[in-house]
C-alpha cells in the first residue's frame, strides 16, 4: 500500500537535528521555570513584553518530532506500515491512560503542567516504540 502522507526520508534527519537539542534544553529549563536570554523580547517590542523560550522550545520540539514521526524509512514496505500503525495505536492508548490517571490524582496548577507535557507524549511514545521495534527486528 502506497503511503502518500509521509515525508521523504531526509526530513527524519532534519527532525532529529531539531528534536534532540530542544528536548534536552526543555528538560533543563521547563522544570526550573527558567528562561533563555536569546528568547527574550527586545525592548522595542512593547506590545507583548516578556520572554518566549517556552513557546519556541515547545513549537520547535513538536515540529521536530512530527518530522521524525512522519518521515519515510529508507525501505518503506507493508511491514513498516503495520509497525507504524500499531505504534501509533499503542502510543495513543498509553497517552490517554496516563492522562486519565493524572486527571484523578493531579490537581490545580500541577494539572496545567501535566497538560503541557501531554502535548508531547503521543509523539514521544510513538517515536520510541516505532524505532525500538524497527531496531529489534534488524
DSSP code per residue over 67-130: HHHTB--SS--HHHHHHHHHHHHHHHHHHHHHHHHHHHH--HHHHHHHHHHHHHHHHHHHHHHH
Q: Which is nearest to 64 in space by CA: 5, 116, 124?
A: 124
Percentage of the chain beyond pLDDT 90 is 59
Set of cell numbers at residue 97: 491512560
- Residue 21 scores a pLDDT above 90: yes
Query: Between vectors from CA 113 to CA 30 and to CA 18, what angle results, nearest 5°?
Result: 45
Banded model confidence at residue 53, pLDDT cuts 50, 70, 90: confident
Amino acid at each position: 500500500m502506497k503511503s502518500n502522507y509521509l515525508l521523504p526520508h531526509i526530513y527524519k534527519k532534519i527532525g532529529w537535528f531539531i528534536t534532540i537539542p530542544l528536548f534536552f534544553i526543555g528538560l533543563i529549563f521547563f522544570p526550573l521555570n527558567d528562561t533563555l536570554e536569546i528568547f527574550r523580547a527586545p525592548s522595542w517590542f512593547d506590545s507583548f513584553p516578556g520572554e518566549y523560550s517556552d513557546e519556541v522550545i515547545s513549537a520547535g520540539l513538536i515540529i521536530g518530532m512530527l518530522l521524525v514521526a512522519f518521515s519515510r524509512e529508507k525501505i518503506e514496505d507493508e511491514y513498516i506500515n503495520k509497525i507504524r500503525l500499531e505504534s501509533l495505536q499503542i502510543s495513543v492508548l498509553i497517552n490517554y491512560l496516563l492522562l486519565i490517571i493524572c486527571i484523578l490524582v493531579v490537581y490545580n496548577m500541577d494539572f496545567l503542567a501535566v497538560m503541557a507535557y501531554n502535548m508531547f507524549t503521543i509523539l514521544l511514545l510513538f517515536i520510541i516504540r516505532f524505532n525500538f521495534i524497527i531496531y529489534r527486528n534488524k
